[in-house]
């Protein structure tokens, strides 16, 4: 049993606070996943969603974003983040 785990789940999965979002950013194609952390100061990139429906959470830092792939992030709202 993990005290406080329910609060973590509520924070991640509830409708208050930060939520999961995915979006394609064509200007970031060819960028390694490790570099995405610096590109999103207002979100936390956690994975990649491929056009074939495959989800890769916490991919290798060297994993390069390919054409048509979406970046999965945790952010306050879908209009509160964008790459820099």
Three-state secondary-structure class, residue 73: strand
Rounded mean pLDDT, 44-64: 97
Greater pLDDT, 9 or 34: 34
Instruction: Report the SS3 class of residue 8.
Output: helix
For the chain, percent of residues with pLDDT exceeding 90: 73
How high is the mean pLDDT of the chain?
91
- Report pTM: 0.82
pLDDT at 29: 97
Q: Are 44 and 71 in contact (CB under 8 A)?
A: no
- Residue of 66, 63, 67 whose CA lies nearest to 46: 63
């Amino acid at each position: 049993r993990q005290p406080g785990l329910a609060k973590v789940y509520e924070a991640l999965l509830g409708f208050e606070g930060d939520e999961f979002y995915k979006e394609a950013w064509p200007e970031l194609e060819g960028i390694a996943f490790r570099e995405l952390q610096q590109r999103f100061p207002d979100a936390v990139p956690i994975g990649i969603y491929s056009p074939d429906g495959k989800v890769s959470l916490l991919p290798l830092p060297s994993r390069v974003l390919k054409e048509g792939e979406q970046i999965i992030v945790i952010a306050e709202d879908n209009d509160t983040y964008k790459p820099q």
